[in-house]
Structure 1
Amino acid sequence: MCSQRKASVMYKPCGHLIACEECARLMEKCFVCRVTIDSTVSFVELCCGINDNTSLKSEVPSATTAAAAAATPMSSNEVSDTLALARLQQQLQEIREQVHCPICMDRLKNMVFLCGHGVCQNCGDRVQECPICRKPIEKSIILYT
């Protein structure tokens, strides 16, 4: 996320490694997949195997759940249903990305700049340049639905 330091924190549950330790504290959702961040793991913990008790406890149930799911055989109908569900969830995520504010990722876009990019009004009132293309904001248009 920041351009001054290397990414050194992995987000859980998504597993993305995109922010330094300082920026990771500020983020509530992953910028890549927009999943709410439950916890973080530092690079030192990842590479050196240093774990605190809380992260170790949170990983044990997920490992047993994954093993139980792998032990249960699935029929071809269940597999196709699972694939269809995953495809629909991906499409829903893409639609959400198109209509939600790219800054806060919580509210719907209801303000558009002259460059054509949109944000929510709360975030749009605070920025001086477009967060997408970095052009200075001359005017903004509020969308009413």
Structure 2
Amino acid sequence: MLYIREPAPLAVVPPPPGVVLRQPSPTDIEQLGRLYYEAYTPPVVDNEAAGIEDIRLTFEGEYGPLNPTISRLAFFGTEMIGAVLVVDRAPWPNTPDCPFIIEAFTAPTWRRKGLATALLTECMGRTPGRFALNVLPDNTAAVRLYEVLGFQPG
């Protein structure tokens, strides 16, 4: 289901203590792919190799031009624990011409600790304007988070 956040004031929420946010780079593909697999259950990602391949395709622009300046990864020490990947515009029909969040995920042990909120607000705070994303309607925790952050069904 498409969700859109129209331009509006946004308070950037700091990450949990000890967590550092930074932009992604191609050197992160394998670690990011492993986290992607850990964060999602099949059929979203069938195995670790598929997760790494999907992230590699993301960096190659398969889902639109990845914007590393807006996208963010979260680390606790050397452990990657979350990510929000943003493309300049999604390539699919009926998606708005604006930054599009193609992935937002956290390690299962870091859920409900404010990490996703910190990642999302950091990304959206890096460029003013409209943002969009797709979310499965039965992912109630994600839908609730996006709605709290001002996203509405589009």
What TM-score bracket applies, with the shorter chain setting the length?
under 0.3
Between the two structures, name the one with larger relative contact order (CA 8 Å, sep ≥ 6): 2
Indicate the structure (1 or 2) with the bigger Cα radius of gyration.
1
Length-normalised TM-score, structure 2:
0.20
Q: Which has the higher helix share?
A: 1
Q: Which has the higher strand share?
A: 2
